[in-house]
A and B are shown apart, each in its own frame.
Chain A
Amino acid sequence: MKKILALTLPFLILSGCSSSTTWGWYVIDPRTETGWINIKFLISGMGDTILISVIAAVISIFVGLLVALPGLSDRWGIRMINRVYVELVRSIPLLPMLFWVFYGLPIIFKSMGMNVPIDPFWGAIITLALSDSAFTAEIYRAGIQSIAKGQSEAAQTIGLNYLQTMRYVILPQAIRRILPPLANQFIYIVKMSAFASVIGMQELTRRANELVVSEYRPLEIYSLLILEYLVLVLIISAGVRWLERRMGSDERS
């Protein structure tokens, strides 16, 4: 809480400079009626930003695991599935991928005789999840590989099959090492969700853009926008640290 306060303070001080002709903090001054309406308009994008990010992250966590597992195979052909996916997906910049998904994917569906409209909401989610899953897959792979080989050998000798070995022996140990970088990736998703503004999703960035167009106060409005992301990410960070502490206390050795 102190941290948030300390970071907000400079902006509040700057807002005190509103007497100067170059400043226009009044557009987001909560004491005036328009300022308050503007702030509410900007902050109301929070819901969509969070929703898009969370759904994309959940999808990415599952897809990432599915992509990671073939990467751990002894067989070259199966490993290649993982390599091709990861190398292909992670080399596509997010914005082109967003355009491809939003404008291109419906055409593919249509050519297959399916009428699947992709709205900005799902377009953004698919793109974020897809892009992120390549990184998530690598995080899983590294985490799983960091568990000593003897663990899966021991699991095999007591009769566990591959899925049981993963479920009961490897993943519970790997998750401690996977969680911190996975949380990092979630922060990345939250930030990258700003691109959804380009295809018309009314999340935080889009709303800021719209307000800038009508008020023409880019500095003040984008400052508040940055602050919104900052607060969001700090909250996530705190949540992750809490989770890590809880999991850490679970293992006393």
Chain B
Amino acid sequence: MTETAIELVGVNKWYGNFHVLKDIHLTVKTGQKVVICGPSGSGKSTVVRCINRLEEHQKGTIRVDGIELTNDPASVAQIRSEVGMVFQQFNLFPHLSVLENLTLGPIKARGLSKKDAEDKAMQYLERVHIPDQAKKRPGQLSGGQQQRVAIARSLCMEPKVLLFDEPTSALDPEMISEVLDVMTDLADEGMTMVVVTHEMGFARKVADNMIFMDAGEVVEHGPPEEFFGAPRSPRCQKFLSQILQH
């Protein structure tokens, strides 16, 4: 893996006439944890979704591990194989068991044998502390457990980078910490992470770099001490005062 894991240079995106992303520059070094925050509609999820081509950017360059993301399906496939993603709504496959959710990718996309895939899946289920739920359907688990399964599912693909798109926003408050604990463990193990979240406690603890977005722009960025201690822009100050009040 190269020193720079993800690089966005002058990325722009429009939905029709609506300018969603305006000249986004972002560099994530290997092993770094970047937290993106901002009000809803600021484009923070879109940035993350552009990195693995769930959304297409129209201008600028996105590179993951030195590979440029283009319209070439091969580049998309290659980048997706290095980038894992955790969604707000978990997006587990409801018709498959937890174990099958985890082994589907390794078996079908990577060509692993069922036995190897299941061994690996159990190993990651243990890491997110729910090996005993392997035979259940996602619908039988709590939200927190489902999100941890989703994290394990991404890990089974052994990604070099993990993207999180508001991973705790759909959870009941009492389940947020179990998911954040798993994410903190991953961060401590050196995983490169880009996290869109409003969990500022988590951000303060793990982030190397904080990014504040508003109206499709990166308004402010910097290390968390600086970011929380002395936000420069009024927009960022206002956002932080609103979100840190409670």
Listed in ascending order, the chain A residues whose CB lies under 8 Å from chain B are: 148, 150-151, 153-161, 164, 168-169, 172-173, 251-253
Q: A157-B84, A252-B140 are in contact. Are A150 and B91 (CB under 8 A)?
A: yes
CB <8 Å contact, B108 and A173 = no
Q: Determine how close the nearest CB of chain A comes to the CB of B142; give it in whole angstroms.
A: 13
Q: Does B87 make an interface contact (CB < 8 A)?
A: yes
Chain B 72-97 near chain A by CB (<8 Å), digits 1 or 0: 00000100110111010101111100
Q: Determine how close the nearest CB of chain B comes to the CB of A176; give it in whole angstroms.
A: 9
A169 to B93, alpha carbons, bound, how many Å?
7
A159 to B103, alpha carbons, bound, how many Å?
12
CB <8 Å contact, B109 and A158 = yes
CB <8 Å contact, B77 and A159 = yes
Q: Kindly list chain B residues whose C-beta atoms are within 8 Å of the C-beta of A173.
A: 93-95
Other contacts beyond A150-B91, A158-B156, A161-B109: 9, CB < 8 A: A150-B89, A153-B91, A154-B153, A157-B83, A157-B84, A158-B105, A158-B157, A161-B77, A252-B139
A253 to B105, alpha carbons, bound, how many Å?
23
Q: Kindly list chain B residues whose C-beta atoms are within 8 Å of the C-beta of A155.
A: 93
A157 to B54, alpha carbons, bound, how many Å?
9
Q: Determine how close the nearest CB of chain B comes to the CB of A96; give it in whole angstroms.
A: 42
Q: Can you identify 22 A-B contacts, CB atoms within 8 angstroms?
A: A148-B89, A148-B91, A150-B87, A151-B91, A153-B54, A154-B85, A154-B150, A157-B83, A157-B154, A158-B153, A158-B157, A159-B81, A159-B105, A159-B109, A164-B108, A168-B104, A168-B108, A173-B93, A173-B94, A173-B95, A251-B137, A252-B137
CB <8 Å contact, B91 and A160 = no
Report the interface size class on chain B.
Answer: 20 to 34
Q: Does B52 make an interface contact (CB < 8 A)?
A: yes
Q: Kindly list chain B residues whose C-beta atoms are within 8 Å of the C-beta of A253.
A: 94, 137-140
Listed in ascending order, the chain B residues whose CB lies under 8 Å from chain A are: 52, 54, 77, 80-81, 83-85, 87, 89, 91-95, 104-105, 108-110, 137-140, 150, 153-154, 156-157
Q: A164-B109, A253-B137 are in contact. Are A159 and B91 (CB under 8 A)?
A: no
Q: Kindly list chain A residues whose C-beta atoms are within 8 Å of the C-beta of B157.
A: 158-159
Q: Kindly list chain A residues whose C-beta atoms are within 8 Å of the C-beta of B108.
A: 159-160, 164, 168
A153 to B83, alpha carbons, bound, how many Å?
13
A208 to B154, alpha carbons, bound, how many Å?
63
CB <8 Å contact, A251 and B87 = no
Q: Kindly list chain A residues whose C-beta atoms are within 8 Å of the C-beta of B140.
A: 252-253
Q: Kindly list chain A residues whose C-beta atoms are within 8 Å of the C-beta of B91.
A: 148, 150-151, 153-154
Q: Which residue of B lies closest to A173 (CB)?
A: B95
Give the 5 A-B residue pairs with the shortest CB-CB distance, closest first. Answer: A253-B139, A159-B109, A158-B105, A154-B91, A150-B91
CB <8 Å contact, B95 and A157 = no
Q: Kindly list chain A residues whose C-beta atoms are within 8 Å of the C-beta of B156.
A: 158
CB <8 Å contact, A160 and B52 = no
A252 to B139, alpha carbons, bound, how many Å?
8
A212 to B71, alpha carbons, bound, how many Å?
67
Q: Kindly list chain A residues whose C-beta atoms are within 8 Å of the C-beta of B92.
A: 154
The residue from B80, B93, B95 contacting A159, defined by CB atoms under 8 A apart: B80
Q: Which residue of A lies closest to B54 (CB)?
A: A153
CB <8 Å contact, B80 and A251 = no
The residue from A151, A157, A172, A251 contacting B52, defined by CB atoms under 8 A apart: A157
Q: Kindly list chain B residues whose C-beta atoms are within 8 Å of the C-beta of A153.
A: 54, 85, 87, 91
Q: Which residue of A lies closest to B108 (CB)?
A: A164
CB <8 Å contact, B109 and A160 = yes
Q: Determine how close the nearest CB of chain B comes to the CB of A248; give it in whole angstroms.
A: 12
Q: A164-B108, A168-B104, A252-B140 are in contact. Are A156 and B80 (CB under 8 A)?
A: yes
A40 to B156, alpha carbons, bound, how many Å?
64
CB <8 Å contact, A158 and B154 = yes
Q: Determine how close the nearest CB of chain B comes to the CB of A246; give it in whole angstroms.
A: 14
Q: Kindly list chain A residues whose C-beta atoms are within 8 Å of the C-beta of B150.
A: 154
Q: Kindly list chain A residues whose C-beta atoms are within 8 Å of the C-beta of B137.
A: 251-253
Q: A153-B54, A153-B87, A251-B137 are in contact. Are A160 and B94 (CB under 8 A)?
A: no
A155 to B246, alpha carbons, bound, how many Å?
37
A88 to B6, alpha carbons, bound, how many Å?
49
A157 to B104, alpha carbons, bound, how many Å?
12
A210 to B91, alpha carbons, bound, how many Å?
59
Q: Determine how close the nearest CB of chain A comes to the CB of B84; give it in whole angstroms.
A: 7
Q: Determine how close the nearest CB of chain B comes to the CB of A157; give it in whole angstroms.
A: 4
CB <8 Å contact, B138 and A154 = no
Q: Which residue of A lies closest to B88 (CB)?
A: A150
